[in-house]
Amino acid sequence: MTTEPDPDDRDEGAIKVDGTLEAIGTLTNAGDFQAAYLLAVPFAEPHELDAKAQLLAAYACDRAGYEQHALVFYQRAWDLGVPLEPRFHFLIGYSSTLKNVGRAAESLQWLREAGKRPPGHPAPAAFTALSLHSVGETAQALATMLDAALKTEGGNGLAPYTRALTEYRNSFLAETGRVEFAIPPVKPRNS
């Protein structure tokens, strides 16, 4: 006869890990991003083979304003294999950070992947618009942002302005030479 393991018999290290993860989450949810950063980064270093620890450190660096440092943890997490459940948030976070450190064209590649799941979610389009603006595609950026806004709340988020904003979006698309909404391949802007 086998017995269920007693939760109190868990390894002390496992309890410490769970407690640290919970503390990072609590600090983040409370908006104390600097404290979360100061806890998450030292936690991630000895857990270099744990994608979740690397993601927590990446997000903590981002929120505390250390975006260059966040890239290290995002890359580690990706190399380890970001699990499917947090992948959407990873793609949004990583691409946003790439844009913020001057790598907007690269961020657009990651955002294309984010746009595939969940389909129709407005976040990838909104972040794509910001990256398009960063590479100098202003009309496409505005059209993309309007498209994201028009999709909120099942397409009713901007009622009764939907018709007017749709016309503006279509006008911006016409300005870019496109008649349908699509995220175009973008060439980096010459510096």
- Give the per-residue pLDDT at 32: 94
Lowest mean pLDDT among 140-154, 155-169, 174-188: 174-188
Domain at 12-81, CATH from 1.25.40.10, 3.40.50.720, 3.40.50.620, 1.10.2020.10: 1.25.40.10
DSSP 8-state assignment for residue 10: S
- Give the per-residue pLDDT at 3: 43
Q: What percent of the chain has pLDDT over 90?
A: 52
Is 50 exceeded by the pLDDT of residue 190?
no
166-175 own/partner pairs: CB under 8 Å, 24+ apart: 168/142, 169/142, 169/143, 170/143, 172/139, 172/140, 172/142, 172/143, 172/146, 173/139, 173/140, 173/143, 175/139
Q: Which residues of 64-97 are buried (b: 16+ CB within 10 A; e: fewer)?
A: bebbebbbbbbebbbebebeeeebbebbbbbbbb
pLDDT band for position 182 (50/70/90)? Answer: low
Q: Which of 37, 111, 43, 46 is nearest to 70 (CA)?
A: 37
More confident residue, 156 or 20: 20
Q: What percent of the chain has pLDDT over 70?
A: 83
pLDDT band for position 41 (50/70/90)? Answer: very high
Reading the block at residue 154, the tokens are 């099942």
Is 70 exceeded by the pLDDT of residue 13?
no
Read off the pLDDT of each residue in 150-161 and give the average, rounded to a whole number. Answer: 77
Is 50 exceeded by the pLDDT of residue 36?
yes
Q: Where are the domains of the chain?
A: 12-81
Mean pLDDT of the chain: 83
pTM: 0.75
Reading the block at residue 97, the tokens are 């950070």
Read off the pLDDT of each residue in 61-68 and give the average, rounded to a whole number. Answer: 95
**pLDDT digits 0-9 by tens, 79-126:** 999 998 899 999 999 999 999 999 999 999 999 888 887 777 888 888
